[in-house]
Amino acid sequence: MKIVGVGVGPGMLTMEAAKAIEDAEVVYGSRRAIELAVEHICCETKHIKDYSRLHEMPDNAVVLSTGDPNLSGLGKYAGPGDVVIPGISSLQAACARLHIDQSDIVVITAHGRDPAPAALKLRSAMNLGFTVFLLPAYEFGVEQVAAMLLDMGIDVPIAV
């Protein structure tokens, strides 16, 4: 199986990802991931609803992952014989647009997981004065983060 990052939006697909998609016999992914790669898809597409079963995919499957598969994405499901093709992540896009060196930030994710550990990590990182990139969750979004920072008495700029 190949897990292919399709980037965070239109025009964010790498050449390596485009080639893997064009050469695919069947492409699997979410509706959004398929839409991001549609101009490179020359075969049948199948929507995935249960990502925990990716290990059951055929060896020739090309599975699309929005952003980069290894930033809170489907890369966690890759097995030893699988190929992971990186995509342009929300982290890369945000850092480029904000002129922030990626090596100068702490990355925290609540996306697709229990947000409680992310809230604890965010609190610690902010107390230590780090610049943070946070991938939010529905239950731990902008409003909750802003409320937490206000409660901590921290006045910092936030880019959304």
CB-based contact 101:42 (threshold 8 Å): no
Q: Cα(28)–Cα(127) distance, rounded to whole angstroms? A: 42
Element (H, E) at 116: helix 115-127
Question: What whole-number percentage of the chain has pLDDT above 90?
Answer: 69
- CATH 3.40.1010.10 is held by the domain 2-89: yes
Q: How is the chain split into domains, by residue range?
A: 2-89, 100-152
Give pLDDT tens digits for 16-60.
Answer: 999 999 999 999 999 999 999 999 999 999 999 888 889 889 999
CB-based contact 136:142 (threshold 8 Å): yes
Q: Cα(71)–Cα(109) distance, rounded to whole angstroms? A: 9
Q: Cα(132)–Cα(71) distance, rounded to whole angstroms? A: 15
Q: What is the pTM of this model?
A: 0.87
Give pLDDT tens digits for 101-133.
Answer: 999 999 999 887 888 999 999 999 988 888 999
CB-based contact 82:1 (threshold 8 Å): yes
